[in-house]
Structure 1
Amino acid sequence: MAEASYKYIILGGGVAAGYAAREFVKLGLKSGELAIISKEAVAPYERPALSKAYLFPEGAARLPGFHVCVGSGGERQLPEWYFEKGIELILSTEVVKADLSSKTLTSAEGKTFKYEVLIIATGATVIKLSDFGVQGADAKGIHYLREIDEADALIAALKSKKEGSAVVVGGGYIGLELAAVLRINKYKVKMVYPEPWCMPRLFTADIASFYEGYYKGKGVEIVKGTVATGFSTDEEGHVKIVKLKDGRELEADIVIVGVGARPLTRLFKDQLEEEKGGIKTDAFFKTSIPDVYAVGDVATFPMKIYGDVRRVEHVDHARKSAAQAVQAIKAKEEGKSIEAYDYLPFFYSRSFDLSWQFYGDNTGEAIIFGDNNPATPKAKFGSYWIKDGKIVGVFLENGTPEENKAIAKVALVQPVVESTEQLIKEGLAFASKI
């Protein structure tokens, strides 16, 4: 079979790949040096759009509108952009074997790709209910959302039955964002999750109570403390009933599952050191093998600000880790050095007319400030996390750009808290003083 050789290969065609390509171009790249290998059929795009504007019934986002790097205010990198920069964009190609000792990747079709430097940007894949042997989990009409093909399938399903019934399994990012967009599509929506409140990995009970109340006000029925244990179908194999552990049965024309994702590291099993479910890297995203880097969802890296190691699944880190790795690669070639990756955790979400941002670490004692009554129009509230007498994390709903910058600075500076009562009283005003 054919073999191709490149100086650099980026394996994976998601957000990180697009931002890494931009950084290579910025720092100097010769035509033919770089290839991006992606199993998707389209050039890298801003994945967060899929659970938001891509599914809107009117004025929906469509490619080429959200190719990277528009998510950070950069130039839109259309397929022609890669061609003009001399970057080989190898799409619809799944790599099934990686031999890091011989610096060779092999595709499902048997084509081999040789590299000098490899950037692993394979991201994560959704956890499916069929992975746990849930009865009927392979029925038609059960959807997952990670790639654009899956979003297109969901759009087709929404159009095939106007204003139907949907069950969203999971109360995290995907669950909340998709429940909102389904309501915008005039679907009847029920959300099911086992935890005592939504987004438990980040939200406190006080924060979650606002969103659950807001969603109920928008017509979303929330079913907590139970899980989907099976599905019944019609004679054509299409899902009709979601069976819950507590014995309830929910009717559904569409089921959307968002119960998490796992990093795609299997190609590198027993070849690279792993830690906390990801590929272990240093502060420059170098792995345990020279000339192999890992970025985005798959990387477990030193979190300098907290003195530990973490794996972060978020678009912001995907963008920034990709740039850091490319800078490290180019610096090494030129005999230079760069600063270690110093990342401040940042998460955000938008649904309905809500928009929140979080910076820092959600450890320690959490206090809430502002008005978190879901009935209040344009409610503004937030939370500070206090650990060892210092603020380590800040959350804010409905902040202005200036206010969001202020809370980011607080999480970075970690100011000492003299009085919790005073902090609650001052609320957002405290952040503006830092």
Structure 2
Amino acid sequence: MAEKHFKYVILGGGVAAGYAAQEFAKQGINPGELAIISKEAVAPYERPALSKAYLFPQGAARLPGFHCCVGSGGERLLPEWYTEKGIELILSTEIVKADLSSKSLTSAAGATFTYDILIIATGSSTIKLTDFGVQGADANNILYLREIDDADKIVAAIQAKKDGKAVVVGGGYIGLEISAVLRLNNLDVTMVYPEPWCMPRLFTAGIAAFYESYYANKGVKIVKGTVAVGFDSDTNGDVTSVKLKDGRVLDADIVVVGVGGRPLTSLFKGQIAEEKGGIKTDAFFQTSIPGVYAVGDVATFPMKLYGDLRRVEHVDHSRKSAEQAVKAIKASEEAKSIDEYDYLPYFYSRSFDLSWQFYGDNVGEDTVLFGDSDPTSAKPKFGSYWIKDGKIYGAFLEGGSADENKAIAKVARVQPAVSDKNVLTQEGLQFACKI
């Protein structure tokens, strides 16, 4: 097959690819200079929609409604936009070999692509129970969620197993969001996770208690402190039950597993510096190989605010790191300089009628919980601050307005000193609004 050459290649077709393409167009590129190579069959889209609106029983989101870059209020980049800008979308193409020394990529079909500058935006893959040899984990209707094809399988299962029983394995982002949306589809939902409370990497016990009670009130059953160790299936190969380590057996027509992801870096092993499970970059997302950049989930970068190296798996960082890398590439070509990446960690989620945001770092010897965290309230609004070395490092808010969310973001950025924890508990959100 013929070799194709591009000045710039973005490897990966997720959120980061869409935002990088938008930034390239802003900065100015010539037709034919940029290609996006993606194993998915569609142009880059806002992945968070898949665990939320895509699965709604009514008014479900569908493409082209959530192509990048609508997630941050930007222009929706339809496939035609890429054509108009002279950006080549090379879809349904899996790259199986990357040779960074010869600046070449080889596809599963044997096509070769060469480049001058490469942006690695390969993202993460879902961790599957079959990876660990869990008995029966290859049964039909044991599903995962990463790409649009996965979401389509979940939609098909919801329709085929109407009003059936669903088991959600995992109590993190995917577990909480999928449990909510399956419940909205009138399935009988049980969520199973090994930790003592949901979202343990971020939530305190106090925060988690609210969400667990709220979900229970919505009819979601929660089983904590155990894991799925096997699955039974019928003669058609469809899953029928989930066997738990504690001996319990849960009936299931659908199982959705959300137990985390792994950054997709295997193509580059031994060719590039790695750290903390990702590809090590500088504050401009350039790797140890000049002209090769890594963004989003795969990048381990300097977190200026905290003076250490971090890898962040979240859509907000995917968008912003992609824009930073493109600005750095164009600045380098013009012998200009740009500011270092100065990221404030940001996470959010929406489920049922709830919506929370978190900014900063959930570290420190102390936390305070403030506001109305009664799960039976008509409009609960509460939050938490994380205190380390007498300063606020992290701030969480459920049910906040746009201005209130900006206020907690500012607190996490400024890191104000706290002299009296009790005053902070009493003032709550007002403390943030005064900063």
C-alpha distance in structure 2 between counterparts of 1:168 and 1:378, whole Å:
26
Match of 1:121 in 2: 121
Match of 1:255 in 2: 255
C-alpha distance in structure 2 between counterparts of 1:362 and 1:161, whole Å:
39
C-alpha distance in structure 2 between counterparts of 1:96 and 1:262, whole Å:
17
Match of 2:352 in 1: 352
Indicate the larger mover: 99-108 or 364-373.
364-373
CA drift of 1:64 comes to 0.2
C-alpha distance in structure 1 between counterparts of 2:232 and 2:305, whole Å:
49
C-alpha distance in structure 2 between counterparts of 1:421 and 1:74, whole Å:
42
Once superposed, which parts of structure 1, at least 4 consecutive aligned residues long, lie more than 4 Å away?
none
Residues 37-84 of structure 1: per-residue CA shift (max 9 Å, x gap): 000000000000000000001000000000000000000000000000
CA drift of 1:154 comes to 0.7
C-alpha distance in structure 2 between counterparts of 1:70 and 1:376, whole Å:
32
Residues 346-378 of structure 1: per-residue CA shift (max 9 Å, x gap): 000000000000000000111100111111111
Amino acid paired to 1:345: P
Match of 1:29 in 2: 29
Residues 116-166 of structure 1: per-residue CA shift (max 9 Å, x gap): 000000000000001111001111010000000010011011111211100
C-alpha distance in structure 2 between counterparts of 1:396 and 1:186, whole Å:
28
Match of 1:408 in 2: 409
C-alpha distance in structure 1 between counterparts of 2:118 and 2:274, whole Å:
17
DSSP-derived class of the 2:416 partner: coil
C-alpha distance in structure 2 between counterparts of 1:55 and 1:272, whole Å:
39
Match of 1:313 in 2: 313
Residues 213-257 of structure 1: per-residue CA shift (max 9 Å, x gap): 000000000000000000000011110010000000000000000
Amino acid paired to 2:375: P
Unaligned 5+ runs, structure 1: none
Residues 252-274 of structure 1: per-residue CA shift (max 9 Å, x gap): 00000000000000000000111
DSSP-derived class of the 2:81 partner: helix
Residues 264-295 of structure 1: per-residue CA shift (max 9 Å, x gap): 00000000111000000000000010100000
C-alpha distance in structure 2 between counterparts of 1:132 and 1:322, whole Å:
33
DSSP-derived class of the 1:195 partner: coil
C-alpha distance in structure 2 between counterparts of 1:286 and 1:87, whole Å:
22
Match of 1:50 in 2: 50
Residues 158-190 of structure 1: per-residue CA shift (max 9 Å, x gap): 111211100000000000000000000000000
C-alpha distance in structure 2 between counterparts of 1:239 and 1:160, whole Å:
13
Match of 1:38 in 2: 38
Match of 1:71 in 2: 71
Match of 2:400 in 1: 399
DSSP-derived class of the 1:151 partner: helix
C-alpha distance in structure 2 between counterparts of 1:230 and 1:366, whole Å:
38
DSSP-derived class of the 2:431 partner: helix
Unaligned 5+ runs, structure 2: none
Total equivalences in the alignment: 434
Matches within 5 A, 1:330-345: 330-345=330-345
Matches within 5 A, 1:77-156: 77-156=77-156
Amino acid paired to 1:433: K
Is the 8 Å Cα contact of residues 170 and 193 (structure 2) preserved in structure 1? yes
Amino acid paired to 1:422: V
Amino acid paired to 1:304: K
Match of 2:277 in 1: 277
Match of 1:430 in 2: 431
Amino acid paired to 2:386: W
Match of 1:421 in 2: 422
C-alpha distance in structure 2 between counterparts of 1:113 and 1:261, whole Å:
28
Amino acid paired to 1:297: D
C-alpha distance in structure 2 between counterparts of 1:263 and 1:140, whole Å:
26
Match of 1:368 in 2: 369
Residues 92-114 of structure 1: per-residue CA shift (max 9 Å, x gap): 00000000000000000000000
TM normalised by structure 1 equals 1.00
Match of 1:287 in 2: 287
Amino acid paired to 1:75: E
DSSP-derived class of the 1:326 partner: helix
C-alpha distance in structure 2 between counterparts of 1:374 and 1:232, whole Å:
35
Match of 2:178 in 1: 178
CA drift of 1:418 comes to 1.4
Match of 1:300 in 2: 300
TM normalised by structure 2 equals 0.99
DSSP-derived class of the 2:76 partner: coil
C-alpha distance in structure 1 between counterparts of 2:198 and 2:73, whole Å:
31
The share of aligned pairs that are identical, in percent, is 76
Is the 8 Å Cα contact of residues 15 and 315 (structure 2) preserved in structure 1? yes
C-alpha distance in structure 2 between counterparts of 1:30 and 1:72, whole Å:
26
DSSP-derived class of the 1:145 partner: coil
CA drift of 1:390 comes to 0.5
Amino acid paired to 1:48: P
Matches within 5 A, 1:229-240: 229-240=229-240
Amino acid paired to 1:282: D
Is the 8 Å Cα contact of residues 387 and 394 (structure 2) preserved in structure 1? yes
CA drift of 1:382 comes to 0.2
Residues 308-364 of structure 1: per-residue CA shift (max 9 Å, x gap): 010000000000000000000000000011100000000000000000000000001
Residues 180-202 of structure 1: per-residue CA shift (max 9 Å, x gap): 00000000000000000000000
Match of 2:209 in 1: 209
Amino acid paired to 1:390: K
CA drift of 1:25 comes to 0.4
Amino acid paired to 2:73: G
Amino acid paired to 1:406: A
C-alpha distance in structure 1 between counterparts of 2:273 and 2:373, whole Å:
44
1:15 corresponds to 2:9: no
CA drift of 1:19 comes to 0.1
